[in-house]
Structure 1
Amino acid sequence: MPDYVRPVLPGRVFVDEHGAPIEYGRRWGDDSPPDEAYSRTGNLERFAGLHTVALALIEWLRASFDVEVDEGADAEADLLLQPTDMVRAVRLTPASAQCAPLTFVLTGFPGVFLHAGMLHDFHFPACGCDACDEDPSALVDDFEWTVRMVVAGHYHETAGSPRGGWHGFRLDEPGVGSRAGQGQTIELPPGVLEAALERMPAGGRWRAWPERTESAPGG
């Protein structure tokens, strides 16, 4: 199986209105962002590398694992919240039903929406406004880690009652780190929870993706 190799991303220094380099992720230091920063989205091109990384991840997954690949509006429909500026949507469905599918939706922002399993979307960047001060390098790390955890079988989803319960996720790399989140099932689009309960594995843990073999048909 070929190893994933991050593509080379061009380095670029962005400056503020005074000509000083912006240190994204540490821009505001210990101070609160100014009020106007919450409605401002400057230097959006700093997120363009997410598209480059997404395409590299898609090609690595296609080459390395036994998956079916679908593109277009049907794939975009996997998202719980669909963007208005889709550039490309690619769904990768492993051959085993015990493995979580992944759908990559590249947006014109630029950014990437990643739908994992049945009930969760991950957004890169999560917001993109100047106040949130998201570091592009850290976003790429987080994006790649999230994909790797799903593919390696370190992804759990849980769901409660359609009439007012909770649904949750957990990504867990033993000895390294974890992330978890939850939301109310009543906020899910109609039919999503019912489909998820039929599809999700017992106990909620998705299995590791099967690797491609010479006999695998390919996507």
Structure 2
Amino acid sequence: MAPRFVRPPLPARVFHDDDGEPILYGERWRADGPPSDAYSRVSHPERFAPLHAVADAVIDYLAKTFDADVDSALSHADDLVRQGITAVRAVRIVPRDPDAAPLTFVFTDFPGLAVHAGTLHDFVFPDCGCDACDETAERSAKELERLVRGVTTGGYREWVGRRANAGMRLEFDEGSMGGGGDLGAVPADRLDNARARLARLPDGWAPWPLRAN
């Protein structure tokens, strides 16, 4: 069994609003919800910068724990399906079992992180970043760890429909998540390649092989 990832401590920082009052990200809005202008406002995006350090720690953990090849090249950001993301670094990790899902970590200029898992799905941290969503670096780090745990333990499954649609399901210790949608903007040959590869994985992606001691 693989050892669990231990997250490095996140720096304790306090951010302030225009009046100098501390902003309690993660618990700003009560029952009434956020004001309408909060959906178009992003204050202190630098609060997500610690995600880069967490991602580096995750990559180091994966390289030391699993039998996988690690390669850093900005061009690996092209693995992403989602458009409009500005990458500053990218690291691709490919398990040496071809039935295990590769992961590509893309460090964004937001600052944040996008992770491409398997063939067709991207996971972005934070998911939005606007003030209304009230996300925090800690919450995003937990979601990143769930993704990595689910993929490496074999709890990840993808599928492609006959048309340009696809879906996924991720199972992790605390539960599961899933989703899908139209991928009409994805080139047809990429969809065809993904469809062919996933057809050989009827039970989903395999667990990552452990590195020999």
TM-score by length of 1: 0.89
Deviations 1:50-81 (A, max 9, x none): 10100000011111111112221331110002
> Runs (4+) of structure 1 moved beyond 6 Å?
none
Q: Which residue of 2 aligns with 1:24?
A: 25
Conserved 8 A contact 1:33-1:131: yes
Q: Which residue of 2 aligns with 1:184?
A: 182
Q: Percent identity?
A: 47
Distance (Å, rounded) in 1 between the aligned partners of 2:183 and 2:111:
29
Q: Secondary structure, in 3 states, of the residue corresponding to 1:126?
A: coil
Q: Secondary structure, in 3 states, of the residue corresponding to 1:203?
A: coil
Q: Which residue of 2 aligns with 1:202?
A: 201
Alpha-carbon spacing, 1:7–1:83, altered in 2? closer, same or farther (3 Å):
farther
Distance (Å, rounded) in 2 between the aligned partners of 1:182 and 1:55:
28
Conserved 8 A contact 1:158-1:204: no
Q: Secondary structure, in 3 states, of the residue corresponding to 2:106?
A: strand
1:9 has 2:10 as partner: yes
111-120 vs 126-135, which moves further = 126-135
Q: Which amino acid aligns with 1:117?
A: G
Q: Which amino acid aligns with 1:180?
A: G
Deviation at 1:2? 5.5
Alignment of 1:109-124 (within 5 A): 109-124=110-125
Structure 1 gaps of 5+ residues are 215-219
Deviation at 1:204? 4.9
Q: Secondary structure, in 3 states, of the residue corresponding to 2:25?
A: coil
Q: Secondary structure, in 3 states, of the residue corresponding to 1:31?
A: coil
Conserved 8 A contact 2:10-2:138: no
Distance (Å, rounded) in 2 between the aligned partners of 1:86 and 1:173:
28
Distance (Å, rounded) in 2 between the aligned partners of 1:103 and 1:211:
19
1:135 has 2:129 as partner: no
1:35 has 2:33 as partner: no
Q: Which residue of 1 aligns with 2:58?
A: 57
Conserved 8 A contact 1:105-1:113: yes
Q: How many residues align?
A: 211
Deviations 1:10-45 (A, max 9, x none): 111222233332222221212232232222211111
TM-score by length of 2: 0.91
Conserved 8 A contact 2:146-2:172: no
Q: Which residue of 1 aligns with 2:168?
A: 169
Distance (Å, rounded) in 1 between the aligned partners of 2:170 and 2:4:
21
Alpha-carbon spacing, 1:107–1:185, altered in 2? closer, same or farther (3 Å):
closer
Distance (Å, rounded) in 2 between the aligned partners of 1:113 and 1:75:
12
Distance (Å, rounded) in 1 between the aligned partners of 2:188 and 2:88:
25
Structure 2 gaps of 5+ residues are none
Q: Secondary structure, in 3 states, of the residue corresponding to 2:202?
A: helix
Q: Which amino acid aligns with 1:103?
A: T
Distance (Å, rounded) in 1 between the aligned partners of 2:188 and 2:61:
33
Distance (Å, rounded) in 2 between the aligned partners of 1:22 and 1:133:
10
Q: Which amino acid aligns with 1:208?
A: P
